[in-house]
Amino acid sequence: MARYESLLDACGGTPLVGLPRLSPVVPEGAPPVRLWAKLEDRNPTGSIKDRAALFMVREAEESGHLRPGDTILEPTSGNTGIALAMVAKLRGYRLVCVMPENVSTERTQMLRMYGAEIIFSPAAGGSNQAVATAKQIAAEHPDWKMLFQYGNTANARAHYETTGPELLHDLPTITHFVAGLGTTGTLMGTGRFLREKVDGIQIVAAEPRYGELVYGLRNIDEGYVPELYDASVLTRRFSVGTRDAVLRTRQLVEVEGLFAGFSSGAILHAALAVAHEAVKAGKRADVAFVICDGGWKYLSTGAYGGTLNDAEEALEGQLWA
């Protein structure tokens, strides 16, 4: 279908494209091992987060948590904020985003363009300061509504009801699904759906491993695991460093013409790992993975050009996924 009543109705239904040049070569006579990319950058605001934003707002409206004219407060490092800003604009809400100050300038520019207000939390202050900032804002504005993507079941449900069925429809032979692990919504929702429908499917998580500056002196006793996370949905979980994520992001555009953000490169890295294992084992594999967003918002990092060392340095201390 190519005609929609409004932009909100155009959310999802993204293309799944084969990557014949990046798929590993199998020995003659061996079963095929193929990589497939789900182009979530084709969503209305250019990222997979449109799905969650739309479902979270709709559910809040239906439950009465959100009423016309309300202010939504959301801590976000970028894409969810941009998606929510668009949905909020079209549905008649004000959006205030609280975000760490070390995100790319394109993201803050886009948020403001969509009409969101931004409150920065100091990057250097670490989690303690972020907690303090958020607590203070909540205390000052008890009427502001939080959708809280890390614990909102509508976030995972968006993927259970849309991303999962789309993948199964387009690739009934799917053997692996690989996505990024942030709020965990994509993997929990899509993973649960596919586990119900496809025997033996592997659900593989790729999480970003940032530079040391980002983790800083984070206290282990103050860690955080999103409420949505259920480890039993996953088969495996990979940690992907900045260098590997940049390398794969560059390969995506150089080899397949696919211009994506660095989180997609991290996901491809994990997808290639399971694909190569399948080749070694002589097993057929259709590995579908998520392109979370396009590379536009990250161009200012400078990490698309120069050597890998330069790129790693450019992204040190940044939240690149």
Catalytic residues: 49, 263
Nearer to another protein, 44 or 226 (CB): 226
* Residue 202 backbone dihedrals phi, psi, to 5 degrees: -105, 130
Helix, strand, or coil (residue 131):
helix
Helix/strand/coil percent split, the chain, to 5: 45, 20, 35
Nearer to another protein, 26 or 47 (CB): 47
17-to-28, 37, 254, 318 alpha-carbon distances in Å? 24, 5, 16, 30
Residues that bind another protein (CB under 8 A): 73, 75-78, 98-100, 121, 126-131, 133-135, 138, 146, 148-151, 180-183, 205, 207-210, 212, 214-227, 231, 234-241, 263, 319, 321
CB 79 to another protein: min, Å: 8
Quick count: other Cβ atoms within 10 Å of Cβ 244? 21
Question: Taken in order 103, 109, 111, 115, is the CA torsion positive or negative?
Answer: positive
Nearer to another protein, 94 or 145 (CB): 145
CB 6 to another protein: min, Å: 28
The b/e string for 42-72 (b: 16+ C-beta within 10 A; e otherwise) is: bbbbbbbbbbbbbbbbbbbeeeeebeeebeb
CB 189 to another protein: min, Å: 16
CB 221 to another protein: min, Å: 7
Nearer to another protein, 213 or 255 (CB): 213
